[in-house]
């Protein structure tokens, strides 16, 4: 008897920072043999490029003019995701506070979003077995026809505690305030704001362990796969 080939599945996982998107997405992709894409890293990468090349991130016109100059390549192995800009590994460089403080402004520019959205759609289309794509506008804008849409939430306090634990010496309250500001910027932008898709399944991770969240999302993916067989 021949082996059953699972239908390709596209999973969109959205939500604000600190809800566990990256950890959940990578674990679900690894468990199900899917590719993985961190779209936030792509926006961080282009922001890093703008800063490194002296582009004024307070000037949308300057950002728009420079947007197409950076060559961003994302590796989609959930066990070892990579990201390069113009051939250079920027995995660590894009996680600095300087990049974090400018990424909302850069990612709000329509020309940047158009460019990165096209890149994301190409990567998803090329994933033979399927892919887990995480971000803030995946289910609403990038991949509105995704087979499964998840929207992760958590209290600001829980999110701040998680983020602070990732960064040695960081202040939890300052982190909470920064997250709330980022939420407001991402939700209020005119182009592809952070929003829950109408058909997304909301999962509140405040009181859940990572393993519990992964199990819940994996079960939902399996249900969609079964329905597609």
Does pLDDT of 2 surpass 60? no
pLDDT digits (tens, 9 = 90+) for 138-176: 999 999 999 999 999 999 888 888 877 776 667 888 888
| pLDDT value at residue 94 | 97
Please report which confidence band the pLDDT of residue 112 belongs to, taking 50, 70 and 90 as the band edges: very high
Token pair, residue 113, equals 């979003």
Taking every pair of Cα atoms in the chain, the longest distance, rounded to a whole number of angstroms, is 61
Residue in 131, 122, 149 with CA at minimum distance from that of residue 28: 131
pLDDT digits (tens, 9 = 90+) for 71-107: 999 999 999 999 999 999 999 999 998 998 999 899 9
Residue 220 vs residue 169, higher pLDDT: 220
Among residues of the chain, what percentage have pLDDT more than 70? 96
| pLDDT value at residue 3 | 56
Q: What is the DSSP letter of 189?
A: -
Q: 153 has which bridge partners?
A: 204
| pLDDT value at residue 142 | 96
Query: What pTM, to 2 d.p., does this model score?
Result: 0.89
Rounded to whole angstroms, what are the CA distances from 184 to 104, 123, 178? 10, 29, 10
- Domains belonging to the chain, first-starting first, are 9-221 (3.40.50.300)
pLDDT digits (tens, 9 = 90+) for 178-200: 888 877 777 777 777 888 999 99
| pLDDT value at residue 1 | 40
| pLDDT value at residue 167 | 67
């Amino acid at each position: 008897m021949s082996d059953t080939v699972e239908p390709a599945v596209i999973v969109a996982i959205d939500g604000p920072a600190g809800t566990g998107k990256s950890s959940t997405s990578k674990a679900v992709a690894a468990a199900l043999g899917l590719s993985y894409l961190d779209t936030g890293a792509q926006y961080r990468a282009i922001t890093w490029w703008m800063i490194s090349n002296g582009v004024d991130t307070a000037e949308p016109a300057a950002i728009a003019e420079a947007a197409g100059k950076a060559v961003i390549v994302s590796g989609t192995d959930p066990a070892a995701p990579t990201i390069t800009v113009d051939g250079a590994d920027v995995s660590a460089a894009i996680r600095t506070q300087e990049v974090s403080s400018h990424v909302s402004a850069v990612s709000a520019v329509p020309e940047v979003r158009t460019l990165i959205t096209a890149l994301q759609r190409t990567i998803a289309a090329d994933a033979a077995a399927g892919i887990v794509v995480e971000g803030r506008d995946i289910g609403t804008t990038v991949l509105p026809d995704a087979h499964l849409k998840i929207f992760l939430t958590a209290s600001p306090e829980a999110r701040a505690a998680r983020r602070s634990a990732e960064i040695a010496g960081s202040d939890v309250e300052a982190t909470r305030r920064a997250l709330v500001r980022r939420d407001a910027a991402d939700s209020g932008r005119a182009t592809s704001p952070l929003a829950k898709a109408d058909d997304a399944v909301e999962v509140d991770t405040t009181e859940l362990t990572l393993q519990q969240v992964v199990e819940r999302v994996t079960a939902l993916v399996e249900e969609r796969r079964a329905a597609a067989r």
